[in-house]
């Protein structure tokens, strides 16, 4: 028997509508432990599908250990490893806790997260904060005094100021900022320059009245936002998570609703196939590496920032962001070609995110797993790349592996035939 | 005898170097009467080469009259006309007073101007403020209570706040903002969205401490900057004027250093030909007009904002600003083609302003009048378009008339052969 095409098409129309109509609004900044569904004081969240402790290796394993140490759940790497093994410290998958991980994506209970409500559908997405410009960051599998101090600075200075400003604002609608950022050279995954400046500007009227009571922190926050053009990524990710989640669990829909990377490979989730992850090998990568690194240094320690591609941004909006060439290599022609190819595997065009270079055509949005299989074209993903010894070592375009789509299609046929 | 090519080439290398190395820094906001060279309390400045009163007609004549009334130099249109005729009220050309006019470009002594120092060469460029989003503005030949109130608001609220913030800053380097804005979709003539946001962000640390003493005006300034994406144009113009002026008066140089429009046509100035203007008919225009207007409504009342094209921006950077399609029509392909053609008539590539779409190639910079004549390609200019009855009625691309270049070349041959 074959899949019911009519039911699938109808379901996919609905899934795309939900992706398109999502309306992310930043409503607060809160500790992860207070707001993430299912979060616990002794839990560390990481990217990837849920796995037992023994399945984590290399940099992602180290990142989990570092997270436990940062949170004070263990005093040493050995103690942390023991506690993960015994279950005294728990591991959670970001996607199961309403959030998405950037690279290793470490969340602990005390870390501040953005609370982004999808007001059109009533669900919420979360993301933790960008750590700063150093290539040595916890989410890239590095931990030392400097990394810890920076995380504390984010928690004690940046997050409270932005939280207070957001509270004063009554909520900051992010979709208009994202739309405009795409007209200003961002694809909101690997380029967030315009998004960051526009968000910064949005805060001004709420920062001004805070200044007399907390001049130092407000000035530091202003400086941090100015120095970190990647800042908006986490708002883009939380927004995308909130939009993608609203398109989940539509019976008969073959639209992809999430992608994830762990130390063990790549996986996708499909709207009509519930919570199941369909795994494959790690992505193929074409990256521009920072000086001194080679392809052999690339190391997979997790990643879920490509929730942006899932909603029609990132690699699906490269032709809006030619400035990215400098960061991740390639040429304008190649970027336009990569971007345009994505129309072949998507259900439609985004009604909000448009590409001026393509005559304001909406970005290709809503990957259909069957279109991927028919064309052999897999999603293009803009991403940062981690190194063997931790830290960011470059950036480039990843390609999702076809195996995930094959596995998902098989499950789809089993379920709906 | 023919022109000395060696001397010309050498002079043009120097002229281009000066254009490229200009370093505009915003150092203050001051009343025009205090800082513009040659400004007087009873003088009104307008766009175009210097002309006697009787040569002004239509909207530009009305704009001069309105300027005199705004400044309190005349109580009625009749009185203003009489005083211009008798010389009780003087007329000046913007370009002769260190500034450039947007459209009619009306400056009076009380109006605030940006003071932009070209710190590399020690000269200064000036420009008055963007009036606001209404298509009915003094510089578009409209004057009524609303226009006057808005000009007073700029003078009494916006200019003092920005002036105080700039003073606190110790000077705001504009070139880095301009460079980045070009990477963010601006060409800094008809699109200034990124420039405005970046400038706004630059002000924040200096606005914060001003807030306790002047909360209302600071909030109004924040709002004005947010609502007016064209704000940065005047900083772009003042910067360009300061850069172009530093390349003037280089013996043997055939590089164009200014373009101007008046009610009587178009004119250019050339580095090796001193202060002389070489005039031709009005520009050819391909515009997208606001609803309800036709080509017959287009009316020339002046314009010098294309000082931006003179330094390698605007029409010479269209391929950096595909988002402009919506405002001035056209397509990405046409914009890229127009932009690329400008390399055929310029002396080199800009060392600061680069176009991501063209692989970060520097914008075509420094128009050589002889290259224009050899190729028949004239400068492409992004511009707003005024209507017969005043007000802005659209935007588009203008082409400088070839006659100006022919006249300049004839003068060049006379002088240097």
Question: Each residue of A168-199: pLDDT tens digit?
Answer: 999 999 999 999 999 999 999 999 999 999 99
Q: Is the pLDDT of residue A2 over 80?
A: no
Tokens of A114: 């953005």
What is the C-alpha separation between A235 and A171, in angstroms, rounded? 13
In a domain, B53, yes or no: yes
Number of domains in chain A: 2
How do residues A123-155 score in pLDDT, each as one tens digit?
999 999 999 999 899 999 999 999 999 999 999
In a domain, B177, yes or no: yes
Gap from A79 CA to chain B (nearest CA, Å): 45
pLDDT at A164: 98
What is the ipTM, given to two decimal places? 0.95
In a domain, B5, yes or no: no
Gap from B167 CA to chain A (nearest CA, Å): 18
Find the CB nearest A184 among B185, B218, B331. Answer: B185
Residue A148 CB neighbour total at 10 angstroms? 14
Contact yes or no for A204 and B200 at CB 8 A = yes
**CB of A128 within 8 Å of any CB in chain B?**
no
Nearest to A343 by CA among A307, A304, A315: A315
- Asked if A225 and A268 sit in the same domain, the reply is no
pLDDT at B1: 53
Query: Last residue of a domain, which of A180, A208, A237?
Result: A237
pLDDT at A3: 73
pLDDT at B244: 98
- Asked if B94 and B132 sit in the same domain, the reply is yes
Mean pLDDT, rounded, of chain A? 96
- Asked if A257 and A232 sit in the same domain, the reply is no
pLDDT at A319: 98
**CB of A358 within 8 Å of any CB in chain B?**
yes
Q: How far, in Å, are A311, B33, B64, B87 from residue B42 at the CA level?
A: 60, 10, 12, 9
Query: Last residue of a domain, which of A203, A237, A271?
Result: A237
Q: Are B382 and B397 in contact (CB under 8 A)?
A: yes
**CB of A183 within 8 Å of any CB in chain B?**
yes
Contact yes or no for A193 and B212 at CB 8 A = no
- Asked if A224 and A257 sit in the same domain, the reply is no
In a domain, B2, yes or no: no
Q: Are B244 and B253 in contact (CB under 8 A)?
A: no
**CB of A227 within 8 Å of any CB in chain B?**
no
pLDDT at A14: 98
Nearest to B126 by CA among B12, B213, B9, B34: B34
Gap from B265 CA to chain A (nearest CA, Å): 34
- Asked if B198 and B285 sit in the same domain, the reply is no
- Asked if B255 and B223 sit in the same domain, the reply is no
Residue range(s) defining the domain that contains residue B265: 251-416
Contact yes or no for B326 and A184 at CB 8 A = no
Dihedral sign computed on CA atoms, order B294, B299, B305, B311: positive
Show the low-confidence residues of chain B (pLDDT under 50). none
Query: Last residue of a domain, which of A237, A270, A290?
Result: A237
Q: Is the pLDDT of residue A1 over 90?
A: no
Gap from A323 CA to chain B (nearest CA, Å): 5
- Asked if B270 and B146 sit in the same domain, the reply is no
Please compute the mean of the pLDDT values over residues A151-162 and round it to a whole number: 98
- Asked if A167 and A223 sit in the same domain, the reply is yes
Beta strands, E only, B20-159: 24-31, 43-46, 90-93, 112-118, 123-128
Q: Which residues of A touch B326 (CB under 8 A)?
A: 356, 360
pLDDT at A287: 87
In a domain, B268, yes or no: yes
Find the CB nearest A198 among B185, B197, B323. Answer: B197
Q: Is the pLDDT of residue A337 over 90?
A: yes
Helices B175-183 & B233-245 angle (0-180, nearest 10)? 120
In a domain, B243, yes or no: no
- Asked if B156 and B286 sit in the same domain, the reply is no
- Asked if B264 and B384 sit in the same domain, the reply is yes
Q: Which residues of A touch B322 (CB under 8 A)?
A: 356-357
The CATH number given to whatever domain includes residue B326 is 3.90.1700.10
The CATH number given to whatever domain includes residue B64 is 3.90.1710.10
Tokens of B406: 């022919």
Record the pTM.
Answer: 0.96
pLDDT at B37: 98
Find the CB nearest B184 among A194, A207, A218. Answer: A194
Contact yes or no for A183 and B323 at CB 8 A = yes
Mutation site for B-interface testing, chosen from A168, A184, A194, A214 by largest number of B Cβ within 10 Å: A184
In a domain, A13, yes or no: yes
- Asked if B352 and B387 sit in the same domain, the reply is yes
In a domain, B129, yes or no: yes
- Asked if B157 and B208 sit in the same domain, the reply is yes
Percent of all residues in chain A with a pLDDT value above 90, rounded to a whole number: 95
Q: Is the pLDDT of residue A292 over 60?
A: yes
């Amino acid at each position: 028997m074959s899949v019911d095409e009519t039911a699938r098409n109808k379901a996919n129309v609905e899934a795309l509508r939900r992706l398109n109509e999502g309306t992310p609004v930043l409503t607060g900044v809160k500790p992860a432990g207070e707001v993430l569904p299912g979060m616990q004081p002794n839990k560390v969240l990481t990217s990837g599908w849920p796995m037992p402790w023994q399945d984590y290796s290399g940099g992602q394993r180290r990142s989990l250990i570092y997270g436990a140490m940062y949170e004070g759940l263990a005093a040493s790497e050995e103690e942390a490893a023991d506690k993960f093994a015994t279950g005294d410290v728990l591991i959670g998958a970001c996607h199961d806790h309403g959030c998405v991980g950037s690279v290793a994506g470490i969340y602990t209970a005390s870390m501040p997260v953005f609370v982004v409500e999808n007001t059109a559908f009533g669900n919420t997405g979360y993301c933790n904060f960008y750590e700063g410009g150093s290539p040595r960051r916890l989410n890239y599998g590095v931990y030392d005094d400097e990394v810890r101090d920076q995380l504390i600075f984010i928690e004690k200075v940046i997050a409270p100021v932005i939280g207070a400003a957001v509270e004063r604002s009554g909520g900051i609608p992010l979709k208009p900022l994202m739309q405009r950022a795409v007209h200003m050279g961002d694809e909101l995954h690997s380029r967030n320059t315009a998004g960051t400046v526009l968000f910064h500007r949005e805060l001004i009227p709420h920062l001004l009245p805070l200044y007399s009571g907390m001049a130092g922190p407000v000035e530091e926050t202003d400086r941090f936002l100015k120095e970190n053009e990647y800042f908006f990524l986490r708002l883009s990710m939380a927004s995308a998570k909130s939009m993608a989640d609203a398109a989940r669990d539509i019976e008969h829909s073959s639209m992809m609703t999430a992608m994830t990377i762990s130390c063990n490979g790549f996986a996708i989730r499909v709207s009509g196939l519930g919570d199941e992850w369909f795994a494959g090998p790690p992505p193929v990568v074409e990256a521009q590496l920072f000086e001194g690194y080679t392809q052999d240094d690339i190391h997979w320690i997790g990643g879920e920032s490509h929730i942006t591609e899932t909603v029609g941004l990132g690699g699906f909006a490269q032709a809006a962001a030619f400035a990215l060439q400098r960061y991740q290599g390639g040429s304008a022609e190649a970027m336009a070609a990569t971007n345009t190819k994505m129309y072949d595997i998507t259900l439609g065009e985004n009604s909000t995110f448009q590409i001026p270079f393509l005559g304001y055509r909406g970005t290709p949005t809503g990957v259909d797993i069957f279109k991927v299989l028919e064309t052999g074209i897999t999603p293009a993903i803009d991403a940062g790349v981690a190194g063997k010894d931790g830290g960011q070592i470059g950036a480039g375009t990843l390609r999702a592996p076809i195996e995930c789509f094959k596995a998902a299609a098989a499950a789809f046929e089993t379920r709906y035939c």
